[in-house]
Structure 1
Amino acid sequence: MNKQKQLIFILIVLVATILRFYKLDQYPVGFHIDEASLGYNAYSLAKTGRDENSLLFPLHIDMFGDFRPAGYQYLDILPIKLFGLNEFATRLPSALFGAATTVAIFLLTVAIFENYTLGLLAAGLTAFSPWHIVISRASAETIVALFFIILGAYFFLSGIKGKTRQFFWATVFWLASLFFYHSSRVFVPLLGIIFSALAYPLWQKKKRNFKLSLFLSLLVIFFLSLFLVFGAGGGAGRFRQVSIFHFPEIRLVLEEQIREDGVAGMPILAVRSFHNKVVNYGFGYLKEYFRYFSLNFLFIEGGFPLWYQVPNMGLMYIIELPFLFVGLYLLIKNSAKNRLFLIPMIWLFLGPTVAALTRDDVPNVQRSLVMLPALSLITAYGLWGSLEWVKEKFGLAIQKLTILVLVLLFCWNFSYFLHQYYIHSRVHRPWYRFNGFKEMVLAVNELEPDYDKVVVTKSQGGIYMHFLFFQKFDPEEYQKLGSPKDKDYQGFGKLVFVPGSCPTDPLVGSSKEPDAKVLFVASGTCEEPPFSSEETKLIKREDGTVAFRIYPGEGRNE
């Protein structure tokens, strides 16, 4: 790679880093409970070696009933030790590995196509990708997993091409991905098998030691994935929570179809042939699978969860759409010359195989993020091929003019994304990002010394985690209390969590606590008059709606 391309590569990585770190503590607006949980559990592990549930060095952590791999929490220990327990430190690993992914994409592209220009295009598209930028800035474990998957794929391909020692690093990085996100535990073994099959002509005549290294690499990945899914706890439980096989809708449709056939007097053989679990679940799976390839998902609205959505913005830029189709065409056309050219397409179609098994928050931008490298590679190949065709047909001058027009169109697309993200996302449905929770906790922290108890509504789920995080509550003390979370009429410190959007405390004014001074934290939707409207403190979201009402409770039961 010449010096000019080296400079462009450094510039791409630098821009990717800026886009993921600029005002990282402020955007995305709000601090989601998943982020708070990741940060506090990292803080707890750093202080005690245990998570919030008192489990010693766990492989999975229970996050509101979702048993997630604990890799991100361990990775976040160092940033929290360096910068303290705050939003920046919690989001730092995701942003850092997000920026580093541009390097991994470059290496993988060059390993497949042996073309540095293509590598730079793919890295550039990833650096500016709305999908990747948004998730990189939001404490997402899947970003870290994706980095290790791509890097593992690069080393695996290098190993297949003859560098046997690279299988060791491929195994290391692919194994690392398994400890960050559930989907990796299915996707990575499948990817390794497909890579080996596609590259069979490259290694079939290799020596026995080479084949043994390849086999051992796949074997270790396969069995550890199997263990983490079924033997380590957490993985199988999460699958049961969100899989299409445990949603009642498909079963109810099947029962309805059978009942309708019964009314029509259909023969039992026909009923069994057309309406059974294999057929209905098969159609259900295909329906979810193809949703991940819809233009609406990729280019218009994006997907779920809603806190990742940028208003009126898809996951890719509209200008990339034609080059995605051109790239698919050219890869199919040229794959006869080099079977490795099939890798981006197979990666793309393999991407949603795990995500399509779920029915919760679909189409899901996190579970399907593994599609992104393939989309970047295919689009880059289509862009490169189109520009080469223009040069061949119309000459260098027209090619340069085409590049200028494309750059201007891309700049408009990119500017539109930045506008939607930094301006509109701030005020568009901010409740999905738990906007106002931090401000509420800070207000309580300021008022708390003057009160004996703080009674908090738990109508907005997971609120206890924001108190743990922004109060930097001592993990050891929390664990000694039995990790109460937000169980009814329990809490930690001065906090007591109660059901209902308008909290009341049965002990206020009672013989047990006759003189207790109580501060109430109610939901913004609470219409019950506070004790003194003049003393009510309103916590508002960025869009002006009221998230919480904080008011004193003296004399309530007198």
Structure 2
Amino acid sequence: MGKDFQKKLKNFWPFIFRTSDTIKLMNSRKILLFILAVAALLRLWRINEVPVSLFGDELDVGYHAYSILKTGKDYSGNPWPIHFQSLAEWRTPLYLYSAVPTVAVFGISPLGVRLPAIVFGILGVWALYLLIKEISQDERLALLTSAVLAFSPWHIQYSRAAFEVTLLLFLLLLGLYFFFKSLKNPRILWLSMAILAFTPWVYSTAKLFTPILLVFLLFLYKKDLLSFPKKYLLYGLFALLAVGGPIAYSTLLGGGTQRFGYISIFTDPTTEPEVGFGRLIDARVRGEMGEGLTPTLFDRLVHNKFTFWGANVIKNYFESFSTEFLFIKGDLNLRHSIGLGEFYKIESIALILGLIFLATRFKDKKIKFFLLFWILAGAVPSAITREGGKHATRLILILPPLIFLISYGINETLNTLKGKARLLFVGSYLALFLLGFYSYQHKYWVHYPWESERWWHAGFKEAIQTIKQIDKDYDRVIISTANEPPWIFFAGWYEYPPDKWQSRFPIGNDVELAGFGKVSHIDKFYFGSSQDGLYGLGKVIDNKTLYLAVAKEIGANLIMEPTRTPPELKLIKAIAYPSGEPAFYLFSGTLAQ
């Protein structure tokens, strides 16, 4: 009975039990296509429903793409920019340009804005397969690695929202594949350099990581590269400069450094107060009192901006590899993670095994050093940012080598174990993996929509689209700023004409509105918050004014108790979160102008 079961299991799960030599005789393309199909299903399924809405940055992508489509300019009025100027920052361009055709077909919608991330997520699974096959020459390991990435919660999360990082990983993996391929065929070195040079066009962490990685590869494979015909080296250098030069110029001399300046540890406004507080405590311990105390030399050596920055960088760096981040909670931002860890818990065992086997069994020392360097250097860009220790978006650079270690740990364990021991390992691992996968899927589809509804700015779509349907009957529309800055939600969900938006960008608080103070406006649309609450609101808006109020401004649940609406107000619509909690109320006054 046991032998029959083992035989059936071997036939059912061929790429685990068969050797790499045998699998080469099989049609491994079918297995890869199956993995890619599963990856596509996990990333596409109900994409218009979960996550529950487009959050602000996603709408920013959609409206920029819409603006390019309609006017050839970003929504701030810059023609075909290298960095897109948004309301709060300058954004790298490649993902935004990739969204133009999908927004053209599907509009500013979850599918239209997220489809590029989905496609690049699927292509990333394929690119990892190519890379691992090239550096290991092991078909089973390559297939296993791609399968682990296909099921990765970390990768799925970012493939199901309009984050740039799935495109970043795809280009990084593909560029590295062609680099290692070029060691045997120097004529394609230029292709590798061109693809890798595109990574800083996608996400800002690559502006630091990619140059560091290229320098390391140059050092590691110096002899191989110097043996190339000079013309191929020149082609590679030209491709690197031609593609990377414009983004480097824009970053250094344009607006590309603005975002880093905002999130960097080195511009943290708490630095000076923290340093000063540390010196004050030292003085108090010595018994000194009063104001204007002069710190001693020792105080200055211990408490200064460099020690403060260094301590935070080290803290961030080690948090990136903590079990709490990787396997227990993950990123606490519910747009980045659902709160179960970035990996399945069973993968912690495979990761440890992978590290051990990499140190003891992996024969190619250069590849070994490359993988370790990738992990160690990949966490650096995030470590120098505020709260970068558990920021899954900035840390996604370390995902591919960690996926490889997990897969390598499984693969080498299978190579080590024989007979019943191997069967026991496969059965136990699969059972625990499926349990983890079920727990992840259950939380993602059942609990996560409610838990994350505010993070994804649910309710704005219904509210703004309702306004669009009825605003022709009103002379003035006021949209509350009490919760989130509403400009991009209005522009995106309303699909406001980009040429008109560009003519008013940036929108400043330039109008005094009774009951609302200084507000910004474009045409008849005003952005500000009521200063009078539910029972004073009817005194400042008339029957030709619409006001979209945030629920917390009102202080009453008008979904449950609509009769609490004062007679001076008409409750046109109450908009709820998926959980049923009130999100917005749309009012007009009842009094004539």
Quick check: 1:338 aligned with 2:339? Answer: no
2:185 counterpart residue number: 163
SS in 2 for 1:7: helix
2:521 match:
491
Which has the larger displacement, 491-500 or 124-133?
491-500
Q: What CA distance in whole angstroms lies between the structure 2 residues aligned with 1:118 and 1:83?
A: 38
Say whether the 8 Å CA contact 1:437–1:466 is kept in structure 2.
Answer: yes
Q: Which amino acid aligns with 1:252?
A: P
Answer with 39-48 or 73-82: which moved more. 73-82
Q: Deviations over 1:383-415 (max 9, x none)?
A: 11111111xxxx234323422332222122111
How far apart in 1 are the matches of 2:446 and 2:384? 35
Q: CA, structure 1 residues 531+271, in 2 after alignment: closer, same or farther (shift >3 Å)?
A: closer
Task: Give the one of 377, 380, 399 matched to 1:350.
Answer: 377
- 2:87, 2:506 within 8 Å by CA — same for their partners in 1? no
Q: Give the Å deviation of 1:300.
A: 1.2
1:69 shift after superposition: 0.8
User: Structure 1, residues 32-87: CA drift from partner, whole Å, max 9, x if none?
Assistant: 01111100110001100111111111222233312111222211111111222322
More divergent stretch after superposition (116-125 vs 471-480): 471-480
Q: 1:329 is paired with a residue of what secondary structure?
A: helix
- Which amino acid counterpart does residue 333 of structure 1 have in structure 2? T
C-alpha deviation, 1:131, in angstroms: 0.7
Distance 2:120 2:532 in 1: 42
Structure 2 residue aligned with 1:376 = 403
2:211 is aligned with 1:189: yes
Match of residue 254 from structure 1: 275
In 2: Cα distance, 1:507 partner to 1:259 partner: 48
Shift of 1:296: 0.9
The amino acid across from 1:131 in the alignment is W
Deviates more, 1:327-336 or 1:18-27: 327-336
**1:485 and 1:260 mapped to 2: Cα distance?**
43
Q: 2 CA distance for matches of 1:546 and 1:57?
A: 40
Specify the alignment match of 1:241 in structure 2.
262
**Unaligned regions of 5+ residues in structure 1, if any?**
none
Match of 1:359 in 2: 386
Q: CA deviation at 1:502?
A: 6.2
Distance 1:399 1:502 in 2: 71
Superposed CA offset, 1:315-335 (max 9, x none): 110110011111112212245
Write the distance in 2 (CA, Å) between the matches of 1:381 and 1:331.
8
The offset of 1:264, in angstroms, is 5.7
Q: 1:397 to 1:201 in 2, by over 3 A?
A: farther
- In 2, the alpha carbon distance for the partners of 1:263 and 1:451 equals 63
1:541 aligned residue (572, 577, 590): 577
Q: Does 1:426 align with 2:454?
A: no
Q: How many residues align?
A: 547
Matches within 5 A, 1:112-123: 112-123=135-146
* Cα drift, residue 248 of structure 1: 3.0
Q: 2:252 aligns with which of 217, 223, 230?
A: 230
Deviates more, 1:410-419 or 1:328-337: 328-337
AA paired with 1:302?
Answer: G
Change (3 A) 1:541 1:213: same
Asked if the contact 1:250/1:284 (under 8 Å) is kept, the reply is: no
CA 1:476–1:173: 2 relative to 1, 3 Å: same
CA distance in 1, matches of 2:33, 2:532: 55
Cα RMSD over matched residues? 2.9
CA distance in 2, matches of 1:18, 1:99: 10
Query: CA–CA distance in 2 between the matches of 1:435 and 1:374?
Result: 35
1:308 counterpart = 2:336: yes
What is the match of residue 463 of structure 1?
486
C-alpha separation in 1, matches of 2:209 and 2:404:
18
Q: In 2, Cα distance between the equivalents of 1:386 and 1:221?
A: 42
Q: What secondary structure is seen at the aligned counterpart in 1 of 2:201?
A: coil
Give the stretch that moved more between structures: 268-277 or 344-353: 268-277
**Residues 152 and 174, structure 1, Cα contact 8 Å, conserved in 2:** yes
Pairing of 1:173-188 with structure 2 (within 5 A): 173-188=195-210
Task: State the TM-score, normalizing by the size of structure 2.
Answer: 0.85
Quick one: which of 34, 43, 59 aligns to 1:20? 43
| Residues in 2 aligned to 1:213 and 1:233: alpha-carbon distance in whole angstroms | 30
Q: Using the alignment, how far apart are the partners of 2:465 and 2:75 within structure 1?
A: 21
TM superposition shift of 1:154? 1.1
Kept after mapping to 1: 8 A contact 2:197/2:240: no
SS across alignment from 2:122: helix
Q: Distance in 1 between matches of 2:389 and 2:89?
A: 17
* In structure 2, distance between residues paired with 1:548 and 1:305: 23
- Percentage of identical aligned residues: 26
1:47 to 1:485, Cα distance in 2 relative to 1, 3 A = farther
In structure 2, what is the Cα distance between the partners aligned to 1:12 and 1:214? 33
Which whole-Å CA distance do the structure 2 matches of 1:71 and 1:5 have between them? Answer: 33
Name the structure 2 match of 1:407: 430
| CA distance, structure 1, for counterparts of residue 550 and residue 451 of structure 2 | 20
Q: Distance in 2 between matches of 1:175 and 1:353?
A: 19
For 1:460 and 1:237, how far apart are their aligned partners in 2?
25
